[in-house]
Structure 1
C-alpha cells in the first residue's frame, strides 16, 4: 500500500478535490459518478527540431463566452468610440464658438436669414394664390325656430338638465 498522502501534507488543490469527494460521497453515497477533470493546459509532445524555429501547433478554441455576450461587448465598444467622437466634435464646435466675433456670426447667419426670408415670401405668395373667392348666394325659404324644450331631473344631490333647441 502507498501511504505517501499520510506522511506529507496535501496541496490546496488536492485538499479541495478530497473535500469535494468526501462531501459528494456523504450526500450521494458510494454510487457517486467519478469527477470529470478538464485539462487546464496544453502539452505538446511533438519532438522539437534540431535547429530553427518550432512550427506552430493547432490549439482548439474552447471559449466559454456566449455569442450574445460577445455581441454586447462589441456593441459597447462601438458606443464608447462613438461617444468619444461626439465629445470631440462638441469640443471642437464649442471651442470654435468661444472665439467668435460679431462680424463672423453675421456672415454665417446671413445665408440662413436670406433663405428664411425667401421661403416666407414664396409661402405667402402660394397662400394668396390658393385662397378661393367665394360668393355664397342662398336662395330659398329660411325657417327659424326658437322653441326650447327644457327637461330637468334631480335625485338627491345630483341633477341633470337637458336643453333641446328645435
Structure 2
C-alpha cells in the first residue's frame, strides 16, 4: 500500500468524487510502479556434484521401473478393480431375492484359493512326472543284435516282497 495516500474502504460505502479519484490514483500508483532494481530470484546453473556425503532417501510414490512394467501393473490393478462392481451387484441381487445362502457366498469368495490349490498340485504332479520319465536313448548298431526283454512283477504284502522274472 502506498503510504502517501490513505486507504479508503470500498465495501458498500458511498464515496465522494474526491475520495473516489484519490482511491483510483492510489490503485494506479500501486499497479504501475517500476520494477525493483534488486533481483528477486536467482537460478544457479553450475553443475551439481556427482556424489556427496548424504545417503539416498527413498522418495514417496511409485518406485522407479520401466514404462512397460508401469503399464502392466496399472492394467492389472484396473482389471482387478473392474471385477469388483459386477460381483457386488450379483451378490446384492442374490441376497435381495433371498436365493443366496451365506455359505455359498463364502465359498464363492474363497473360490480363487480353492481353484489355485488344485492347479498348483497338478503343476507339481506334471513336473514330477516329467522328471520321472526316462530319457529317450537311440542306439545305432552295426551287425547282429540280440535283445533280451523280461517282464518283472513285484508284489509287496506288508514286509515280504516277491519278484517274478519271466522270459
Identify the TM-score tier after normalising by the shorter chain: under 0.3
Structure of larger gyration radius: 1
Higher helix share: 1
